[in-house]
Structure formats: structure tokens, C-alpha cells
Structure 1
Amino acid sequence: MVGPGWQRIGPHPAIAAWAAAARSAALDVLAATTEPWRCGGTWFVGVDALPNAPDGSIDGTAFPWQALPLAPEPLHRAQLSVIRPGYPQPSPEETPAAFAFRRDRDAAHLDGLLPIGPDKRRMVKEPHAWILGLPLNDTAAAPLTVWEGSHDILRAALRKALNPHPPETWGDIDITEAYQAARKDIFATCRRIELHAKPGEATLLHRLTLHGVAPWKPDDRAPAEGRMIAYFRPLLATAEAWLDNP
């Protein structure tokens, strides 16, 4: 993907059919789950929570590969991200500084970087190929946010930090400072977009695009279950492929 680092796809009937089947399954997941909601009870993280098959189908409804600019490949169980009114709220699992960053900067982050060790140093532990979001219900609440062109800034910064090291060790290199400096540059230079989408549409992000979730606004509206989106992030084999491929 080139350009701004994101695109909205659809509407397409195949995406809509899959979203309808996934919504039904998602409501069953929410009704049965014992997973605690984070951010003061306003965010169900739902990693691997949606019971889709490896081909992406769910309850017999095919995954809409034909509507997407992606080659079919095996898929993990989708994340089921659900946001409720009032998101975000302070919670014990976040420091005051982390909560302020979530509230004021959408908890902007780059997928694939995990906080490692007691000091939570950032390393490339989950090199994703792409990030696909599929809305499961009709709401404009707490939208996905992206910073246009951020993938180019992050690619340059992380390549500079990792190039002195052998590629096979990149997943174990501390890139915290390079990442934080690049993120600061992105906030200062890149346009922040609130990326709304409806069932039948999809959002596709370049894997290096900085993104987050906007706070729930007082006039936002959603169905009773909250804003539900399924996310797919298939993995690449190496951190080198993650950084160097288009």
C-alpha cells in the first residue's frame, strides 16, 4: 500500500454478508465471555475472540476476499474490539500518564511492537502483514484514528535504528527511543484522520501506520452492545520482511 497508509473499501455485499454473520457470533461471545473489560469497563479487547475458521468464514458465510485488495491466506481468529459509551475511563491497569495518552492522543500506537520486560522496552515481536478492520454494527462512535503518511516516517526511523544489527536479531533490538521520537514527529507533521466505516465496508491500514481510537464523544451513538469491529493482522515470517516490504 502506498499513499496515505490507509484506505476505505466498499460498500460491498460480500463484506456486508460476512459482517452480519460475524455480528451474530460476536453477540454470542459477549454474552458468554468472562474476559474483563478494560479502561474502566469501556473496552472489550477481545483478542482471538471471534470464532471464524482459518479461511476466514464464520458460521458458513465466506470471508469476502473477492472484495478486498488482498491475496487469500490463512487467518487467525479475529480480534473483537468493542467500545462502550464513556471510553476511555481511568483503570488500575494504566498509569495516569498512560491514561492521559489514551485520552489525549487516542493511545496512538504501531501494531507489532510489544512492551518487553519490567521497563516495557519496545521490540518487534509481532510483524504483521496488514491490518484489516471490519465494522460489525452501524455506529460512528469512537472511530479508528490514523495519521496519514506516518508509515513512511516510522519505516525510516526504525530502519535507521535496526540497520546496524543483523536482520535475524531485529526482533530482539530495543527500538523504544527511535519509536517514541518518530511518534512525536508524526504528531507534529501528519494529519490525524477519524476513519469511520459501516457494515459492508472495511478499513485497510499499512502495517506501519500509526493509529488509535478516539474517545467517545458526548453525542456519539451506538447500539446497546457498543461499537464492534473485527480486526485481522496476519503475521509475516520476519521483522525484516515487516520493515522492508512495500
Structure 2
Amino acid sequence: MKEYLEKGWIKFAHDAALAAWVEAARQPAWDAVAAPENTHWHQCGGTWFVGVDALANDASGAVGQSGPLTGQAHDFARALFGPLPLHQAQLSVIYDGYPRPREGESDAAGRYRLKRDAAHLDGLKLEGAERQRRMGEYHAWVLGIPLSESAASPMVVWEGSHRLLHDMLRAAFAGLPESQWHEVDLTARYQALRARIFEECQRVEVCAKPGEAYLMHRFALHGVAPWGAADAAPRMIAYFRPEAPSRTDWLNKP
């Protein structure tokens, strides 16, 4: 717990229970990637499958013949906010050549994706004609579970960024009821702090294999590294990001 709270992420060693879940979930995951109804999730010139809520698991994490999601990583996550129902997992698949230009993305956004790993805070949305950044989702944690052997384009996290972003959000929402938090324009605060994070916080590439997992703090700045491996096999990771029990818990818990 100390390591998780200091760095903003933690990696878990190979776990037999999780490895069994991965074996059962892998084929349903690839089936979802190929499903016609998920064609719209193929982005960046076919080099990225976004796959939000694409895995057909139930609230326990069970998919296919896997049984519920178990293992030390999920047990650790459950201890943070208590047991939470799981949404259908996001399937993030990166292919050789990522990132190619994304349709509708500006040149500046494309450069940011390439040079800064498309670093972002989960739940912070761009909204309206003025493209203001506002909180739209309130996740408890982010659990990454590799489903493929490829280590290309790993997740990237800026260690310690969660503490800085946590302080920013507390200040931004101070004195406001939860019902108004989504109305607060965080654009200027976020952009200024993000630039500071790039200067002050260590950028770390998080690599893991099937049977391993990593848990990221809900306020950690993170992204995806450009493809840089000789291995042409795609890399697939299932992400669980359940909603916090309340927005107050989301804001105030460590």
C-alpha cells in the first residue's frame, strides 16, 4: 500500500488465479475485437482498438468459462473502496505502427500522442464548442490485465503525478456540492499542472505479461508509448475502471 500511494501505481507478480482468468478471457476478447458492432473502436489508422466496454464480462468479471475475476491484484483493488461491481472491461489493443493519425485529430493532438504518449487523466473530458476539460467520470482505480505476450507500446505513468492532480482537484471543487463538480472548467489548471508533471515526475513504462497485472491510482497521469518493438504481434490489455461508490469518496480517499 505504501508503494502504491507513493508512486501512484503498483505491479503484481504472476498469479495462478489471474492467469486462469486470462486464458479463459483471451478468445472472447479477440472475438470482441473482430465483431462488426465494434468496428468503430478501430482508430489511428487501424493501429489502436479503443474497445471501451467491449469485453462481455459480468459484474463479477466472469467472461466465457472464466469464473469471477480473482487474484491478488483484484483483492488489493477491492480493499481500496470495498467490493465494486465491474463494468464490461475496456480492451486496449495496440498494433505495429501506432500511432498513426486519428480521424478528426488535429496536427497538435497527433504530435502530443507521439511525443507525450497521449498522457491524460481518466475521467477528464473535453466538452462543448470551447473544448473545456471537465470531470465526467469518477473511477475508483484502474486495473490493467495483459491478455497477450507482446510488450510493445506499454502503458506509461508519471510517478507521483497522482498526488499533484489530487491536490488540484481538491482545490477546484472546494466548497462546491458534488452535483456541481462536472460544471467546473479545469482546462487552465490541468494544462499548467500537466506541464509541471512532465518536468518534475519520472516517466515510467509499465510492462507486464499474462498472469501479471498492475493497478494505477485514479488520479495518475498516464498514456501509451508509441510502438517501438521489433515484435509485430499486437498487444492487448483489459482494463477495469469501476465507478467510485460516491464522488466524495473519489475526491477524499488517499
Q: TM-score normalised to the size of structure 2?
A: 0.91
Aligned equivalents of 2:187 and 2:135: distance in 1?
Answer: 10
Aligned equivalent of 1:75: 86
Residue pair 1:140, 1:220 contacting (<8 A) in 2 also: no
Letter in 1 for 2:142: I
Aligned in 2, Cα 1:220/1:243: closer, same or farther, shift over 3 Å? Answer: farther
1:96-245 paired onto structure 2 within 5 Å: 96-217=107-228, 219-223=229-233, 226-245=234-253
Aligned equivalents of 2:203 and 2:84: distance in 1?
Answer: 31
Aligned equivalent of 1:5: 8
SS in 2 for 1:141: coil
- Give the Å deviation of 1:15: 0.9
- Give the Å deviation of 1:60: 2.5
Residue pair 2:33, 2:51 contacting (<8 A) in 1 also: no
Aligned equivalent of 1:23: 26
- Per-residue CA deviation, residues 171-228 of structure 1 (Å, 9 max, x unaligned), is 22111111111111100000000000000011100000000000001x33143xx110
- Give the Å deviation of 1:31: 2.5
Unaligned runs of 5+ in 2: none
- Give the Å deviation of 1:239: 3.4
SS in 2 for 1:2: helix
Letter in 2 for 1:221: D
SS in 1 for 2:100: coil
- Per-residue CA deviation, residues 34-73 of structure 1 (Å, 9 max, x unaligned), is 4231112111111110011111011121234342212242
Aligned equivalents of 2:58 and 2:72: distance in 1?
Answer: 18
Aligned equivalent of 1:47: 52
Aligned equivalents of 1:118 and 1:15: distance in 2?
Answer: 43
Residue pair 2:154, 2:225 contacting (<8 A) in 1 also: yes
Aligned equivalents of 2:232 and 2:58: distance in 1?
Answer: 28
Count of aligned pairs: 243
Residue pair 1:170, 1:239 contacting (<8 A) in 2 also: no
1:59 to 50, 54, 64: 64
- Give the Å deviation of 1:164: 4.6
SS in 2 for 1:65: coil
Unaligned runs of 5+ in 1: none
- Give the Å deviation of 1:30: 2.1
Residue pair 2:15, 2:71 contacting (<8 A) in 1 also: no
Q: TM-score normalised to the size of structure 1?
A: 0.94
Aligned equivalents of 2:104 and 2:159: distance in 1?
Answer: 30
Tell me which protein shows more helix as a share of its residues: 2
Residue pair 1:143, 1:196 contacting (<8 A) in 2 also: yes
Letter in 1 for 2:230: D
Aligned equivalents of 1:88 and 1:132: distance in 2?
Answer: 23
